[in-house]
Amino acid sequence: NFMLTQPHSVSESPGKTVTISCTRSSGSIASNYVQWYQQRPGSAPTTVIYEDNQRPSGVPDRFSGSIDSSSNSASLTISGLKTEDEADYYCQSYDSSNPVVFGGGTKLTVL
């Protein structure tokens, strides 16, 4: 089994850019797609990035995803931060033995 490790919290000012990391403990990050979910307080999660770097329709292009094999990690980058981006963000991946693996979540504060 592998784990996905995220920072507990990040904070940044409106208009700035923030990056949230998601590090895979074993196996290659490039072997299986990584997804990112946004969860605002009191709401169900929604997808902001799927298949490493794809945005669902309706998600602004301020949101982007990438993977870095050298650090075995995925990243979610949000540019032009808005107060409405304040939420918890979760990465998720899988492998042949584990259909679903979630990261622990990162609380983004836009102050």
Partner 1 sequence: EVQLVQSGAEVKKPGESLKISCKGSGYSFTSYWIGWVRQMPGKGLEWMGIIYPGDSDTRYSPSFQGQVTISADKSISTAYLQWSSLKASDTAMYYCARLSEGWFDPWGQGTLVTVSS
Count of positions on this chain that bind partner 1 (CB under 8 A): 24
Which residue is it, tokens 């301020």? Answer: 62
CA distances from 31 to 26, 49, 55 (A): 11, 17, 20
Per-residue b or e along 39-66, where b marks 16 or more CB atoms closer than 10 Å to that residue's CB: eeeeeebeebbbebbebeeebeeebbbe
Tell me if 104 contacts partner 1 by CB under 8 A.
Answer: yes
Nearest-approach distance from CB 84 to partner 1, in angstroms: 19
Binding mask 74-103 for partner 1 (x = CB under 8 A): --------------x-x-xxx----xxxxx
Task: Quote the CA–CA distance of 35 and 48 in Å, as a whole number.
Answer: 8
Segment 45-74, which members bind partner 1 (CB under 8 A)? 45-47, 50-51, 56
Tell me if 27 contacts partner 1 by CB under 8 A.
Answer: no
Binding site for partner 1 (CB under 8 A): 32-33, 35, 37, 39, 44-47, 50-51, 56, 88, 90, 92-94, 99-105
